[in-house]
Structure 1
Amino acid sequence: MEKMFETLMYRSRWILAPIYLGLSVAVLALAIKFFIELAHLMLEIWTIKEVDMILIVLTLIDLAMVGGLLIMVMMSGYENFVSQLDIDEDEEKLSWLGKMDSSSLKAKIAAAIVAISSIHLLKVFMGVENISGENLKWYVIIHLTFVGSAFAMGYLDALTKHGKH
């Protein structure tokens, strides 16, 4: 009975596979949104204000970073929690693939969230005349919370690794 329970529990990790595959649909959605924004920029390049152009470019950077984060989570999560990716010898392999454990993935996610939050905060600052001081304060507090959380996670991870050696 115990062996059957353990086997069932171990094989249940495959429930995560469609979730990771679903993230590729989210990457596709981001790509579509990216090219819509890019087309918007290119169609209005001659008439758009510089500040508005910078905001669109920051949006493009934001979308690209979220896409990269999704790819990291999708592929590393699959490798860490479901099964190792079987990539043909002649196919290009990403340098980080197979090297990112859940701890380093967590650190990369935290760093990406801080970077994305920084870009969003920069976009808010670019349109500061359209936002109240109270809302601006909350944007900064939320961003600093992300920064503090990333540092705390990194510090705790370093303590844990240091304690293991």
Structure 2
Amino acid sequence: MLKLEHFLEKVIFAGRWLLAPLYIGLLLALIPILYRFFHSFWHIMSHITTSTMSEITLQVLELLDTVLLGNLIILVLFAGYENFVSKIAIADGAEDRPHWMGHVDSSGMKIKLIGSLVAISVIELLKDFMQEGTFDANREGWRIGIHMTFVVSGVLFALMEMMADRHKSER
């Protein structure tokens, strides 16, 4: 019976590697994001003499949005892989290793994720409010409601983490 239990535990433990292809997929998802960034950047540069400052600002906000999305993918990729699959040993001792790498647990990753979503959401709202033309109050109301949901969720996640940390330190 102990041999069966040991075998099951080995299989379950090895099962974490089933997540590895998902992280490879996230890495590959950076390719269209790179394309989109440089396509937008080229558009800004090729229309710089005919664009208004408002149009340039909107286009730069689009670039920021794209960068934040890329950062979010890298955060989830590194932290998720290290938390659930394996340590990235090749990064040990690397000069340019991100300082947070190896220190972000799943709850910290959730807080960083929600923080990134709030930042992306606020950029999208800012772009909407800066655009000229028709204003759809119903649509913008929903977008503001969703943004506030992200904000409140982030605050609640942070409070739960504080309470959990306080509970751990009292033991």
TM bin (shorter chain): over 0.9
Retained in 2: the 8 A contact 1:76–1:100?
A: yes
Q: Does residue 162 of structure 1 match 2:142?
A: no
Find the aligned partners of 2:119 and 2:30 in 1 and give their Cα distance: 18
Once the two structures are superposed, residues 44-76 of structure 1 have per-residue CA deviations (whole angstroms, 9 ceiling, x without a partner) of 011112222111100000000110110010011
Q: 1:83 aligns with which of 80, 83, 86?
A: 86
Q: Does residue 151 of structure 1 match 2:155?
A: yes
Once the two structures are superposed, residues 92-122 of structure 1 have per-residue CA deviations (whole angstroms, 9 ceiling, x without a partner) of 3221111111111111111111111110110
Identity across matched positions, percent:
36
* Partner in structure 2 of residue 130 of structure 1: 134
Aligned residues: 165
Identify the range of structure 1 (76-85 vs 100-109) with the bigger mean alpha-carbon deviation: 100-109
Q: 2:39 aligns with which of 32, 36, 41?
A: 36
In structure 1, the gaps of 5 or more residues are: none
Retained in 2: the 8 A contact 1:87–1:93?
A: no
Report the residue type matching 1:63 in the other structure. T
Find the aligned partners of 2:61 and 2:106 in 1 and give their Cα distance: 29
Q: CA RMSD in A?
A: 1.4
Report the residue type matching 1:5 in the other structure. L
In structure 2, the gaps of 5 or more residues are: none
1:153 Cα deviation from its structure 2 partner: 0.9
Stretches of 4+ moved more than 4 A in 1?
A: none
Find the aligned partners of 1:47 and 1:35 in 2 and give their Cα distance: 19
* Partner in structure 2 of residue 59 of structure 1: 62
Retained in 2: the 8 A contact 1:23–1:74?
A: yes
